Chains A and B, each alone.
Chain A
Amino acid sequence: MQRLTGLERILKAVNRQEPDMVPTLEIDIEPDVINGIRPGLSYADFCEYMDLDAICYFDMKGKKYEVVDEAKHIARDEWGALRRFTPATPHNPVPWEPAVKSEKDLTNLVAPDPDLAFRYREIEQAVKTYKGKRAVIATVMDPFNTVKDSIRGEVNIYMDMIKRPDFVDQLNEIARDYHMKYVKSCIDLGVDIIWVTGDYAITKGPMVSPRFTERFLTPGLKQIAQYCHSRGVPCLKHTDGNIWPIFDLLVETGIDAIHPIDPTAGMDLGEAKEKYGDKLCLIGGVDCGALLSWGTTEEVREGVKDAIRKAGEGGGYICASSNSIHNAVKPENYVEMVKAIRDYGKYPLSLT
């Protein structure tokens, strides 16, 4: 087969077709790993250097924070919630105090302005530089996760689901309105794919019951997926955790791909391929916990081979880490991972 561009390779996989080779991308690559491989490169330059098939723009990086407590690294996000930065979460500060602590706080809630130019500068630049060569992907937080992490807080929102479900609907609507506008702007700028982040599950299983998932979580995702499709843009979804009990609900939203099939939560890539490979593209498969952090390069090669063997056949698979390339990943292991994907991922596959 003729050699495809990164964009063509990703789009074929997302459409559950077989490209020239198994594509690879990462939703995020932390600076320690980049600096361990090519010191000083920006994320985009690093994707170019590694010849990854896509460049992803994390919406979390396009947010403003107002410092509240410098010593404790606590800042106010644009929804009015307090978040705490740690060395381990430089772009995704941990929720500390929600914006809406009681129902009466809702009257003071002001959604961020989705149209601020600074949010889109890197995306505009990426579209200009990579359009047609590599897939330019904009990530957007799932509206439910914005409600959970910024607007209402995790414990409160769980109690609201049982005690005051209409209030949850109201908050979801506010978050959805903001995120839909952001998605529209990204597509207007020319991004190739929208990737919705934000977890629906923990290691044990879904955060909330399938009934609550359908009522409170998936409607926002479905709305984004439908809008993306109306604009001819695929929509991917990321969620950690064990999603088996809600996999069908995720498929019903119309998303085109699911990431990362979390192995630490008991998700098996081969089983996902067998059960859902005809409905969705699968992204992930290489354990970024023990394997990429502490494994040897030989073990990483075996891990890549195993992932491609399980999910590569027939296309519809993008090989990636099981979450992201975080700071604890050994740089040499990531280099070996990408090399192994290129070595073993050529179609037709010939893995023993």
Chain B
Amino acid sequence: MAVLDEISKAIIEGEDVKILTLTKAALDASVPAKEILDNALVLGIQKVGDLFERGEYFLPELVMAGNAMTRALELLEPILAKGDTPYVGKFLIGTVKDDVHDIGKNIFVMMLKGNGWKVTDLGVDIPPEEFCSMIEKGDFNVLGLSSLLTMTMARSAETIDALKAGGLRDKVKIMVGGAPVTQQWADKVGADGYAADAPAAVKVAASLVGKS
């Protein structure tokens, strides 16, 4: 469908004004919101992720694409919320205690939403007990722990330990990420998933819920 291709293209090109017009036009033409999400937004943001992975896109292009996608999601989300559209999964995320960096996390959150996840973003400086309480109360499939500093990586490990101590570890898959984090470290602290950047992390998240 031409309009879906154009919406997808607007994401790839980071056109935040044009995408609003196109998404409205698609909805006015009775294209289901779910179809716009699956066949325009997801395809567009996945292409952006591929371009980033290949080193053709950088942070400005990623931010512009994420911004365009957010604009479209603002129109689609109220409609999607009314229906019984299945999400890929439910993702809980936050930057760990003593760390307030969030640009990488925010890009990841935008990409998760664009890929059909329901995301609860707790923000920054989140203590282990808050993550534990959310996991205990909620039905999240994946927990993402973000830390940008070597010092605060230890807080991710402490959060995983707190989940274990509370008998909650097996309730959720855990991903760790952030500049100093490595696969080796993720294995060491017993995380289920790790990725070096947001586009790669979206693929890992999907694989953790068997939807890769």
Residues of A contacting B58 with CB < 8 Å? 205-209, 212
Q: Which of B99, B179, B185 counts the most A-chain CB atoms under 10 A from its CB?
A: B179
Which residues, 82 to 132 on A, are CB-close (under 8 Å) to B?
84, 86-89, 94, 96
Specify which chain A residues have a CB less than 8 angstroms from the CB of B206 in the assembled complex: none
B151, A203: Cβ atoms closer than 8 Å? no
> Which residues of the partner chain B approach A240 to less than 8 Å between Cβ atoms?
179
Minimum CB–CB distance for B42 against chain A, Å:
22
Interface string of A206-222 (1 = CB under 8 A from B): 11110010000000000
Q: Is the CB of B149 within 8 A of A89?
A: yes
Which A residues, 263 to 310, have Cβ-Cβ distances below 8 Å to chain B?
Answer: 264-265, 288-290, 293
Which of B2-10, B60-68, B138-146 lies on the face that meets chain A?
Answer: B60-68
- CA A94 to CA B124, docked complex, whole Å: 11
Question: How many angstroms between the C-alpha atoms of A86 and B126 in the bound complex?
Answer: 12
Interface assignment of A336: CB less than 8 Å from any CB of chain B: no
Question: What is the CA–CA distance of A28 and B144 in the complex, to the nearest angstrom?
Answer: 31
Q: Which residues of B contact A212 (CB under 8 A)?
A: 58, 60
What CA separation (Å) do A288 and B150 show in the bound complex? 9
Q: Could you mark each residue 118-144 of chain B with 1 if its beta carbon is under 8 Å from any beta carbon of chain A, else 0?
A: 000000010000000000000000000
How near does chain A come to B122, taking the closest CB pair, in angstroms? 15
Is B103 engaged at the interface, CB distance under 8 Å to the other chain? Answer: yes
Are B60 and A159 interface neighbours, CB within 8 A? Answer: yes
On whether A204 and B196 interact (CB within 8 A), knowing A162-B14, A328-B150, the answer reads yes
Q: Closest CB of chain B to A226's CB: distance in Å? A: 27
A96 to B180 Cα, complex, angstroms: 21
B197 contacts the other chain (CB 8 A): yes
Q: Is the CB of B150 within 8 A of A158?
A: no
Contact pick for B197, options A88, A204, A288, CB 8 Å: A204
In the bound assembly, the distance between CA atoms of A207 and B67 in angstroms comes to 17
Knowing A205-B58, A209-B58 touch, does A86 contact B103 (C-beta < 8 A)?
no
Cβ of B25 < 8 Å from any Cβ of A? Answer: no
Q: Mark B154-192, 1 if CB is under 8 A from A, else 0.
A: 100000000000000000000000011010110000000
- Chain A residues positioned under 8 Å from B150 (CB to CB): 288-289, 293, 326, 328
Q: Is the CB of B55 within 8 A of A86?
A: no
Given the known interface contacts A88-B151, A209-B58, A328-B154, the answer about A154 and B103 at a Cβ–Cβ threshold of 8 Å is: yes
Least CB distance, A246 to chain B, in whole angstroms: 10
Most B CB within 10 A of own CB, among A208, A240, A328? A328
Task: List, in ascending order, chain A residues with CB within 8 A of B208's CB.
Answer: none
- Knowing A88-B99, A204-B196, A326-B150 touch, does A290 contact B182 (C-beta < 8 A)? yes
Task: Determine the distance from Cα of A206 to Cα of B59 in the docked complex, in whole angstroms.
Answer: 8
Chain B positions 45 through 67: 1 when the CB is less than 8 Å from some CB of chain A, otherwise 0: 00000001001001111011001
Beyond A86-B98, A204-B197, A206-B58, is A328–B179 a contact (Cβ under 8 Å)? no
- Residues of chain A touching chain B, judged by Cβ–Cβ distance below 8 Å, are 84, 86-89, 94, 96, 154-155, 158-159, 161-162, 202-209, 212, 240, 245, 264-265, 288-290, 293, 326-328
A84-B100, A155-B63 are known; give 13 further A-B pairs, CB within 8 A: A155-B103, A155-B106, A159-B67, A162-B14, A202-B197, A203-B196, A204-B52, A204-B196, A208-B60, A245-B55, A265-B179, A326-B151, A327-B151
13 contacts between A and B (CB under 8 A): A84-B100, A88-B152, A89-B149, A159-B63, A203-B196, A204-B196, A205-B58, A206-B58, A212-B60, A288-B150, A327-B151, A328-B150, A328-B151
